[in-house]
Amino acid sequence: MRPPTAPRNCRGVRGDAVADHPPPEFNVGDRVRVVLSDRHQTPHTGTIRDVIWHGKDGCWNYYIEEDGKKVSTRYLASDLESAP
C-alpha cells in the first residue's frame, strides 16, 4: 500500500505526514476575503493561491492573489472568510 500523498494544493508537507494534519479549511482557487482586525487592516478579496503547513505553529497558512497580483501577507484560516 502506498503512503498518502499531500493534496496538490498544499506545500510544506511530506507525503507520509498528511495523515497527521487536519485538512485545510480553504483550497487553492477558493474565493475569500480578509476579515479586518487589529492584525489585518487592509481589505483584500481574492483567491487562495497557496496553502502551506507551518510545522512550528502547527497550522495551515494561506496566501491569496487579488486581481492577478500576489498579496505577500500570510493568513490563517481565522483571518479569512468565503466570498461570493
pLDDT in tens, 8-40: 555 555 454 556 788 999 999 999 999 999 999
In angstroms, the first-to-last Cα distance of the chain is: 40
Residue 54, pLDDT above cutoff 60: yes
Helices (H), 1-84: none
Q: Does domain 10-82 have CATH number 2.30.30.60?
A: yes
Neighbours of 46 (CB within 10 A): 20
| pLDDT for position 20 | 76
What does pTM read for this prediction? 0.79
**Domain-wise residue ranges, the chain:** 10-82
